[in-house]
Each structure stands twice: as C-alpha cells, then as structure tokens.
Amino acid sequence: DTGVSQNPRHKITKRGQNVTFRCDPISEHNRLYWYRQTLGQGPEFLTYFQNEAQLEKSRLLSDRFSAERPKGSFSTLEIQRTEQGDSAMYLCASSEPLDLLAKNIQYFGAGTRLSVL
C-alpha cells in the first residue's frame, strides 16, 4: 500500500494520559499536514511540515500538542495530559511540493480515532 498510513487506527485513553500518533506519508511527498475532525464537522487544520520544518501551526494546536517530523519522512503528533475535548479523529495528509502548476492535491490517511474517557 503506497498511500498515507496512520497508526494506531483507534486509541482509547484516560484523561490526563499522553498519547502519540504516527503518520507515514506517500514517499515522494514532502508536505505533511495534520487535521482534526469531530462529529458533524469538516476536518480542521492543525499544522503542516515541509520536509522536516514545521511551517505553520493553527491556534487550535494548544501547548499540550506537539508534532514532529525529524527526518522529513514520517511524523508524530503527541497530545499531553489529554482532555475529553481532545476526543476526535486525527487525520494526516500529504502532498507534493506546492508550485504554481501543481494541483497540490492532499491525500489523506485513514485517521486515528481518539477517545478520551
């Protein structure tokens, strides 16, 4: 499978615990995005990387959230001291380099569904 891969698919945790999710993008894609989606809403942008550089973070990304992409390949999203409001689907997407000619289509992984009890 050469698509975007996310692990784990599901995570159940107790409030206050830390969780980490992993995303493996399509191999030739240098851009990687994280989104959060709650029931009845569209995905909301959290942050994105170009290679290993984190270039933008949404105001939704509180101090308890941190994302890394150390080698410019896979990325991790960590949530510290989880709260019930963190329960959501966390989606990762990747795309080719952005230029004027590229459509910059973002391809999504299947997501990690987080439930905070």
Instruction: Reduce the DSSP state of residue 85 to 3 states and report it.
Output: helix
Complex with another protein: residue 37 or 80, whichever CB lies closer: 37
- Select the span of 21-29, 64-72, 77-85, 103-111 touching another protein (CB under 8 A): 103-111
Calpha distance 53→42 (Å, rounded): 26
- Nearest-approach distance from CB 43 to another protein, in angstroms: 5
Complex with another protein: residue 41 or 62, whichever CB lies closer: 41
- Select the span of 16-24, 68-76, 79-87, 93-101 touching another protein (CB under 8 A): 93-101
- Nearest-approach distance from CB 1 to another protein, in angstroms: 13
**Cβ proximity of 66 and 81 under 8 Å:** no
Number of residues that bind another protein (CB under 8 A): 28
Contacts of range 72-75, beta carbons closer than 8 Å, 24 or more positions apart = 72/30, 73/24, 73/25, 73/27, 74/22, 74/23, 74/24, 74/25, 75/22, 75/23, 75/25, 75/32, 75/34, 75/49
CB atoms within 10 A of CB 93: 22
Instruction: Enumerate residues 7-66 that contact another protein by CB under 8 A.
Output: 31, 33, 35, 40-45, 48, 50, 55-56
- List residues binding another protein (CB under 8 A): 31, 33, 35, 40-45, 48, 50, 55-56, 91, 93, 95, 98, 100, 103-111, 113
